[in-house]
Structure 1
Amino acid sequence: MGERLREFVADDCWLLIGVVTFALVSLAGVAGFSTLAGVVSIVGWFLLTPIFLFWGDEIASLFDDRGVSDSHSSESDAYEELKRRYAAGEIDEDEFERRLDRLVAADDSFDGPDWGTESPSATNEPGGSITADHPPAVADEVDERDRTREFEQ
């Protein structure tokens, strides 16, 4: 689905449905089909218009190739691009492993459950120690951050 069509469905389709419903109800009423006018107004104004007004983004994403969540697709895009470049011979095995490790580390750093829970007594300097009040998972996380800082310097 094109980006313009997706934006239309997400933002403006409800308005088009409302206007078309008004036109159809008017034509059916003038032609003497009052039952048809009633059915069209119920379906158009009371069913389709609210659905597209409140859930237009979700409906557009159902038909979108990228899916509902763009964050997951961007993560998989990075992995796919890395694999493609390695397969094409643009990067060697060492470079592939290094970049893959960085991608995995970046994913893990955002998924960490202990953000901001370290006590002031814990040190983050290389060779520093973690106090006994921290579980092993926090110690591993701090060690990983130390290695990342050393690598970035």
Structure 2
Amino acid sequence: MALPTFEKKRLIGLIAILSFGLTSLSAVLLPSPVAPLGPAIFITGFFILIPLVVVLGEDFPLVAADDADAGSASPSAERPVAALRERYANGEIDEAEFERRLDRLLATEDLDERFERTSAGLSDRSGENRAREYELE
């Protein structure tokens, strides 16, 4: 049976929540002879397990391999026009399909550029408004 794997951030969060919760429960519910177990749980979780996960990263048995490298290596995620040209060059799509998809991609890129310009303009305007507010004060 294989061990479950988690993203690094999720595993750190899980360890932190479990350590804090178990420490709190042991402080309230355990009888006094076993009370030193609470600080031991806290120390184990926060000062041993979390640093191990941070330092070892993917080498820690419960941390899943990071798929960010696989996602960034795909040309379709980074450069959709280049990926489309590559598919056309390989003969996967015909000329009409290539032209149709290229037009759609270029239209989408134009919309992205317009959105970026308008949002940049809004942030500039808010900066101007702040300057005016300071002048009025």
Q: Does the pair score TM above 0.5?
A: no
Q: Which has the higher contact order (CA 8 A, sep 6+)?
A: 2
TM-score (norm 1): 0.32
TM-score (norm 2): 0.35
**Larger fraction in helix:** 2
